[in-house]
């Protein structure tokens, strides 16, 4: 867990470059906003979180049938 980075991932860098090319100006990893989102647009009151597949849905297609409890959810 110590080696897991909280910023500077490939997804975050790719999104940052795309946003910058489109002319959007943002703040990265703003600690003043609740949850410390990856990108914030304070003027628009928008927060963007970049969640990779490593933690959120890794191999979901294969493992979704392994859940034994609360299947309806």
Give the Cα separation of 42 and 27 in Å (integer): 8
The proportion of the chain whose per-residue pLDDT surpasses 90, expressed as a percent, equals 33
pLDDT at site 24: 93
Give the Cα separation of 59 and 1 in Å (integer): 19
Round the average pLDDT of the chain to a whole number and report it.
81
* pTM of the predicted model over 0.85: no
In this structure, what DSSP letter does residue 65 have? T
> Which tens digit of pLDDT belongs to each residue from 34-68?
888 999 999 999 999 887 665 556 677 777 777 67
Domain ranges across the chain: 27-60
pLDDT at site 57: 63
Give the Cα separation of 19 and 57 in Å (integer): 25
């Amino acid at each position: 867990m110590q080696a897991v980075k909280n910023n500077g991932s490939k997804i975050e860098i790719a999104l940052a470059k795309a946003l910058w090319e489109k002319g959007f100006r943002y703040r990265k990893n703003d600690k003043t906003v609740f949850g410390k989102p990856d990108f914030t647009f304070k003027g628009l009151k928008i927060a963007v979180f970049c969640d990779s597949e490593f933690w959120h849905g890794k191999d979901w297609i294969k493992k979704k049938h392994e859940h034994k409890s609360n299947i309806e959810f």
